[in-house]
């Protein structure tokens, strides 16, 4: 009877110890999370006034601290599990040795994982992309929602989520690093004067810059590159508007509206697709009579 009481007492003692370890891990996780959040705010508040683009700096800081937090949580729970295993009587020496052997085996069989980690490390270290950027990975574009040493997660405009391991990334484009740009191609009829059209485009840009909502999102005046090429029924004038990151589409839509109104007011012809039929020089005139 005394042996049974001693056994149950030992079991309860072990359970109490295990619960204590896990409770300590939870508390430590919360403390680390709060400390990381506080440290992130401190870094942002200290450097925000000294950087040229606070929004870009903020995205970089958020990305780095999110990766740091995940690493800290991994360490806390790994150590906690090892402590629990030692409490229930499992020797840590053989376990560590076994983990080392398994790690080596996995390393030989899964070199892609190592490639993912190395590529992820350099992507974050070199500040190539940050959470909140609009990026294109292997031909898929979207907003970067998550990044760590293993993978990147994008969400496109339709809401679809695209997940790429860092080792599989062959083409990576950041479309909102520093600034964005709305690139426009405006078609006008051949009879229009190019200098006049260029002036109207600049006028539209100046009107857009005065907008109290969109004006602060525009970084510079409209750049008109000039007559870009000749099309079948029009000439194409190309240019761009530099904006704050991710604001180019909003600015571009309003710019197109202003351009349409200005062109209408000045009688500028915007050509549309049409066909002309030619039957030769000897063909007779065709008369059309419309009866009411």
CATH label of the domain that carries residue 80: 1.10.287
Of the two residues 247 and 8, the one the predictor is more confident about is 247
Rounded Cα distance between 111 and 127, Å, is: 24
Domain hosting 153: range is: 134-174
Q: Mark which of 124, 158, 174 sits at the end of a domain.
A: 174
- Based on the fold, state whether residues 184 and 239 are members of the same structural domain: yes
pLDDT tens digits, one per residue of 117-165: 888 888 887 888 888 888 999 989 999 988 888 889 999 988 999 999 9
Average pLDDT over the chain, rounded to an integer: 80
Of the two residues 120 and 278, the one the predictor is more confident about is 120
Q: Do the domain assignments include residue 275?
A: no
Q: Do the domain assignments include residue 274?
A: no
> What are the two backbone dihedrals, phi and then psi, of residue 212, each rounded to the nearest 5 degrees?
-65, -25
- Based on the fold, state whether residues 159 and 223 are members of the same structural domain: no
Q: Could you give the number of structural domains in the chain?
A: 3
- Based on the fold, state whether residues 185 and 162 are members of the same structural domain: no
- Based on the fold, state whether residues 63 and 42 are members of the same structural domain: yes
> What are the two backbone dihedrals, phi and then psi, of residue 213, each rounded to the nearest 5 degrees?
-95, -50
Structure token pair of residue 249: 């589409």
Among 74, 73, 6, 82, CA closest to 33: 73
This prediction's pTM: 0.57
- Based on the fold, state whether residues 81 and 9 are members of the same structural domain: yes
Q: Do the domain assignments include residue 223?
A: yes
- Based on the fold, state whether residues 152 and 169 are members of the same structural domain: yes
Q: Which CATH number characterizes residue 155's domain?
A: 2.30.30.60
Tell me, rounded to whole angstroms, the distance of Cα 74 from its chain centroid: 25
- Based on the fold, state whether residues 16 and 92 are members of the same structural domain: yes
- Based on the fold, state whether residues 145 and 225 are members of the same structural domain: no
Q: Which CATH number characterizes residue 234's domain?
A: 3.30.70.100
Q: Do the domain assignments include residue 159?
A: yes
- In the numeric block, the tokens 């790429």 are attached to 164
Q: Do the domain assignments include residue 18?
A: yes
- Based on the fold, state whether residues 169 and 186 are members of the same structural domain: no
- Based on the fold, state whether residues 164 and 209 are members of the same structural domain: no
Residue 242: strand pairing partners:
181
Q: Mark which of 68, 92, 109 sits at the end of a domain.
A: 109
- In the numeric block, the tokens 């549309």 are attached to 272
pLDDT tens digits, one per residue of 180-214: 899 999 999 998 999 999 999 999 999 999 999 99
């Amino acid at each position: 009877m005394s042996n049974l009481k001693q056994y149950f007492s030992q079991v309860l003692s072990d359970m109490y110890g295990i619960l204590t370890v896990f409770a300590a891990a939870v508390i430590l996780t919360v403390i680390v999370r709060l400390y990381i959040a506080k440290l992130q705010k401190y870094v942002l508040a200290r450097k925000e006034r000294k950087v040229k683009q606070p929004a870009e700096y903020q995205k970089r800081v958020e990305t780095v601290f999110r990766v740091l937090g995940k690493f800290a949580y991994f360490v806390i729970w790994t150590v906690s599990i090892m402590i629990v295993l030692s409490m229930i009587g499992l020797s840590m020496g053989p376990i560590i040795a076994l983990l080392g052997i398994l790690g080596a085996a996995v390393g030989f069989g899964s070199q892609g994982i190592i490639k993912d980690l190395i590529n992820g490390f350099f992507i974050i270290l070199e500040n190539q992309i940050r959470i909140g950027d609009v990026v294109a990975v292997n031909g898929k574009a979207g907003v970067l929602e998550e990044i760590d040493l293993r993978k990147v997660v994008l969400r496109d405009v339709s809401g679809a989520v695209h997940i790429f391991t860092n080792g599989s990334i062959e083409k990576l484009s950041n479309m909102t690093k520093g600034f964005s740009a709305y690139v426009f191609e405006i078609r006008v009829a051949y009879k229009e004067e190019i200098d006049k059209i260029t002036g109207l485009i600049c006028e539209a840009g100046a009107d857009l810059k005065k907008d109290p909502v969109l004006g602060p999102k525009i970084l510079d005046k409209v750049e008109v590159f000039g007559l870009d090429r000749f099309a079948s029924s029009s000439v194409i004038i190309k240019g761009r508007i530099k904006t704050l990151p991710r604001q180019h589409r909003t600015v571009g839509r309003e710019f197109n509206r202003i351009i349409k109104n200005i062109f209408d007011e000045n009688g500028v012809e915007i050509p549309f697709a049409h066909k002309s039929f030619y039957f030769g020089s000897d063909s007779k005139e065709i008369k059309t009579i419309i009866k009411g």
